[in-house]
């Protein structure tokens, strides 16, 4: 896309938005059909994806706008049920693009496969034997999945730890082997699991122990992506709040989350508000991303803020977010669900690395959106105003009634279902 800046997009009808998108991105008839006319995922395909299928479950798909990341324009597909998330991401992206945009970086895409060995008569000797046989084990792992090696990836290294050494319990002493595997553009669960399962007999032979678990770790701390933004205070000015007040409020809010797990969980939920919708829209495994992200937030021994906000020497607000991001542009459901394929195409990402970087940039934007609102007007003003339409629908409003009831709820400052039901009854009379 030449630009992700589409002012007033949210005031258009769905049809008008699709026309704009067609002009900017060149939608195919099939895309439009998938997006609005019919269920994007036909039940026959769904029946092949999981078990006991009785239908499909839809979520709204919205577009996060205004994103400029490493000088490139991105329109962000976001599948989510919660009001105000897409608006908030776009709001912050608009501010950050005026500050030069987000910058991102990422590590190589190295994932971890774990092998658990128990019952060794000498764990220290077993560990040494594994290390001595490293190249044999790596070669065996790669022979089990040669196609990833030909793509430039595969098993690259391994290490071994002894857990609960010297424990009295035979159940708790174990040798844990980590196989480090470059999964290229795939999340890699299946290739990792194939590799660790295939070398298990060799591991038993070498260690004289018994292998139980052979599975990837979702704590993907060698598959990290990082985003950063630097914003001058004048870009943050909001209503009666000066830019400096907003900046300081955001930093105070961050310090709260950094020091208190009760706040950190909510703070990080706000970050995942930005991350999960793209992970879902691109057909990736959001449970894997969630699990890895929260574990990384506790890596220093206490569960804490995923982001870091501070003031630089020029008085700018600086935000950083680094997370494990084990997503793929191939594999899993990314090429099975028609809207996942569409979302990846719309994003225009060329690799899993690029996708991971875009995702953390949106997470960082989402966090600032929430903190900026919380440190100024409070969350209810922007969020509940947009949520009022869902409240009206929950109370039974339909068609044109939805917006009328929603506006009345906002005017009366009573955005709740009970009040909405009263208004629906009055409207029907
Ligand atoms: C809602 C806003 C953005 C309004 O904020 P605003 O200042 O009224 O926005 P604006 O009218 O100045 O518009 C600025 C830009 O925002 C976007 N925008 C503005 N309005 C819309 C809309 N209706 N639909 C789509 N996009 C919208 C749009 O890009 C627009 O630019 P334009 O295109 O006009 O040039 C702001 O109040 C906000 O960001 N609030 C925070 C919302 C939020 O965080 N929601 C998450 C749900 S609450 C939660 O689950 C997490 C939490 C809060 O607990 C986490 C935590 O505690 O840390
Ligand atoms: N704990 C967890 O998180 C677990 C998750 N899962 C699930 O596993 C799925 C993801 O597994 P994953 O292994 O990624 O998916 P796939 O099993 O679909 O594997 C991806 C395949 O894509 C092909 N491919 C094409 N181009 C590339 C490229 N550039 N880079 C890498 N591979 C490429 C490779 O096949 P080839 O080389 O042969 O062409 C590769 O085998 C998700 O659905 C997840 O939910 C499963 C088990 C556990």
> Each residue of 56-86: pLDDT tens digit?
999 999 999 999 999 999 999 999 999 999 9
Residue with CA closest to ligand 2 atom 7: 189
Is the pLDDT at 323 greater than 80? The verdict is: yes
ipTM: 0.94
Q: For residue 161, which of 173, 175, 171 has the smallest C-alpha distance?
A: 175
Nearest atom, ligand 2, residue 287 CA:
3
Residue with CA closest to ligand 2 atom 46: 189
Residue with CA closest to ligand 1 atom 50: 270
Span 153-203, pLDDT tens digits:
999 999 999 999 989 888 999 999 999 999 999 999 999 999 999 999 999
Give me the catalytic one of 134, 210, 269, 381. 269
- State the number of CA atoms in the 13 A half-sphere of 428 facing the CB: 10
| C-beta of residue 375 within 8 angstroms of C-beta of residue 253 | yes
Within 6 Å (CB) of ligand 1, which residues are found? 7-8, 10, 65-66, 82, 84-88, 90-91, 94, 266-267, 269-270, 273, 369-371, 373-374, 379, 382-383, 386
* 91 flagged as catalytic: no
* Structure tokens, 19: 């026309």
Residue with tokens 């608006």: 87
How confident is the prediction for the chain on average, in pLDDT?
Answer: 95
Q: What pTM was estimated for this model as a whole?
A: 0.95
* 127 flagged as catalytic: no
Nearest atom, ligand 2, residue 191 CA:
13
Domains of the chain and any CATH numbers: 9-107+223-377 (3.90.770.10), 110-217 (3.30.70.420), 382-428 (1.10.8)
| Pocket flag, ligand 2, residue 184 (CB < 6 Å) | yes
Provide the pairing of β-strand 307-311 with 210-217: unpaired
Q: Give the C-alpha separation, 33 to 36, whole Å.
A: 6
């Amino acid at each position: 896309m030449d630009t992700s800046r589409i002012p007033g997009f949210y005031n258009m009808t769905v049809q008008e938005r699709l026309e704009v998108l067609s002009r900017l991105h060149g939608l195919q008839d099939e895309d439009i059909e998938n997006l609005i006319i019919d269920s994007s995922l036909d039940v026959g395909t769904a029946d092949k994806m999981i078990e006991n299928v009785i239908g499909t479950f839809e979520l709204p798909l919205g577009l996060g706008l205004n994103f400029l990341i490493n000088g490139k324009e991105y329109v962000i597909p976001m599948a989510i049920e919660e009001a105000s998330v897409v608006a908030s991401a776009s709001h912050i992206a608009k501010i950050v693009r005026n500050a030069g945009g987000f910058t991102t970086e990422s590590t190589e895409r190295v994932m971890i496969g774990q092998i658990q060995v128990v019952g060794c008569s000498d764990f220290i000797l077993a560990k040494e034997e594994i290390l001595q046989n490293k190249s044999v084990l790596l070669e065996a792992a790669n022979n089990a999945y040669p196609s990833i090696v030909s793509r430039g990836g595969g098993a690259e290294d391994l290490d071994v730890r002894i857990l609960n050494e010297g424990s009295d319990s035979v159940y708790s002493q174990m040798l844990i082997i980590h196989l480090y595997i470059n999964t290229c553009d795939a999340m890699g669960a299946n290739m990792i699991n194939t590799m660790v399962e295939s070398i298990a007999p060799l591991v038993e032979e070498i260690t004289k122990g018994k292998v139980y678990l052979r599975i990837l770790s979702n704590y993907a701390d060698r598959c990290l992506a990082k985003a950063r933004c630097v914003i001058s205070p004048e870009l943050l000015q909001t209503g009666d709040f000066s830019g400096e007040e907003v900046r300081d409020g955001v930093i105070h809010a961050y310090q709260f989350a950094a020091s208190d797990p009760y706040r950190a969980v909510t703070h990080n939920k706000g970050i995942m508000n930005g991350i999960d919708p793209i992970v879902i829209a691109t057909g990736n495994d959001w449970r894997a991303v969630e699990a890895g992200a929260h574990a990384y937030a506790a890596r220093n021994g206490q569960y804490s803020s995923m982001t870091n906000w501070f003031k630089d020497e020029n008085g700018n607000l600086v935000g950083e977010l680094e997370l494990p991001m084990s997503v793929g542009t191939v594999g899993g459901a990314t090429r099975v669900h028609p809207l996942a394929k569409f979302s990846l195409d719309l994003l225009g990402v060329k690799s899993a690395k690029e996708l991971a970087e875009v995702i953390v940039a949106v997470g960082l934007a989402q966090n600032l959106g929430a903190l900026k609102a919380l440190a100024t007007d409070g969350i209810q003003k922007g969020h509940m105003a947009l949520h009022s339409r869902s409240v009206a629908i929950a109370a039974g409003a339909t068609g044109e009634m939805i917006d009328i009831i929603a506006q009345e709820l906002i005017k009366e400052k009573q955005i709740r279902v009970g009040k909405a039901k009263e208004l629906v009854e009055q409207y029907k009379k």
